[in-house]
Amino acid sequence: MPPFFFCARLSLPLTLPKVWTMTDPAPRHKKPHPVWAGLMGRCPECGKGKLFKGFMAIAPHCSECGQDFSQADSGDGPAIFVMLIAGFIVIGAMLVIDTLYEPPIWLMLSIFIPLAILLNIGMIRPFKGVLVTLQFHHKAGQGRQQDTDPPNH
Ligand SMILES: [Zn+2]
């Protein structure tokens, strides 16, 4: 009795599993986590190319994998998050310090205005990167109005 008969009765696969060898093409790259790629300013597709061209501008495409970034648009989203978070930190700290120590107003302003500027500038790029990479991760696009008229056939 041939051995494949037993295999067929047990419904085992008769082909061996694929084993990667050095001559095979490399498997597709794994996408990076969108939050990590955004914080690092990296491409949401390959995680290696740069997402930004300059400080705030989104590059037209990835320099490594060629991913098109022309549809990426985070709008005012990063600015809103950054202003709310920085405002909460700065105003909260101002209220606590003013209540506890009652420093002169010139000292408060000379400390907290630069702090507010630095917090906003420091957070805007990572927030913009995360929002753009999350758009790519969730395949977000511009909203479109569905055609409610029946098609003309
Ligand atoms: Zn890329």
Q: How far is the CA of 42 from the centre of ligand 1 (A)?
A: 8
Q: How far is the CA of 61 from the centre of ligand 1 (A)?
A: 8
Which residue segment(s) compose the domain that 128 sits in? 34-137
For 84-95, write each residue's pLDDT tens digit.
Answer: 999 999 999 999
Please check whether residue 94 lies inside any domain of the structure: yes
Please check whether residue 96 lies inside any domain of the structure: yes
In this prediction the pTM is: 0.70
For 21-65, write each residue's pLDDT tens digit.
Answer: 455 555 566 889 999 999 999 999 999 999 999 999 999 999 999
Q: Residue 75 has what pLDDT?
A: 87
CA 65 to chain CA centroid, Å, is 17
Please check whether residue 66 lies inside any domain of the structure: yes
pLDDT > 90: what percent of the chain?
65
* pLDDT over threshold 60, residue 103: yes
Please check whether residue 8 lies inside any domain of the structure: no
Q: How far is the CA of 133 from the centre of ligand 1 (A)?
A: 11
- The burial class, CB within 10 Å (0-12 / 13-18 / 19+), for 79 is middle
How far apart (Å, rounded) are the C-alpha atoms in residues 103 and 88?
Answer: 20
